[in-house]
Amino acid sequence: MTRTNVGTPMYTSPEVAGGEYYTEKCDIWSLGVVVYELCCFRNPFNTTGLRNMANDRDKSTKAALDKIPLRYSKGLSDLIKKMLIKDPSQRISIT
């Protein structure tokens, strides 16, 4: 577990944004954001590139995740939901 903070803020997991210890599951979160954006052409939590970390952390921890368009499979939708679970202990792992 670590506490450093490096990377693009738009893809930062709630635990990293909150200054908490984190594991590789923060990378799963970031991948979930990227996959969501590829499907929907927007950030899942309506955050901006020029972030206020505290404000956007609140958005990503409190906002409900909108569904991806119906043209994508239920399997993909379920995978994205599992990658973007706010509690890292409940988030899907690479295995």
Write out the chain's pLDDT in tens, 95 residues. Answer: 455 656 677 888 888 888 888 899 999 999 999 999 999 999 887 665 545 555 655 556 567 788 899 999 999 999 999 999 999 999 999 88
Confidence (pTM):
0.79
H or E segment at 95?
none
Give the residue extent of every domain in the chain: 9-83
3-state secondary structure of 67: coil
- Identify the CA nearest to 12 among candidates 64, 66, 48, 65: 48
The answer to whether domain 9-83 has CATH 1.10.510.10 is yes
Residue 70 exposed, middle or buried by CB count within 10 Å (0-12, 13-18, 19+) = exposed
- DSSP for 71-84, written as a single string: TS-HHHHHHHHHHT
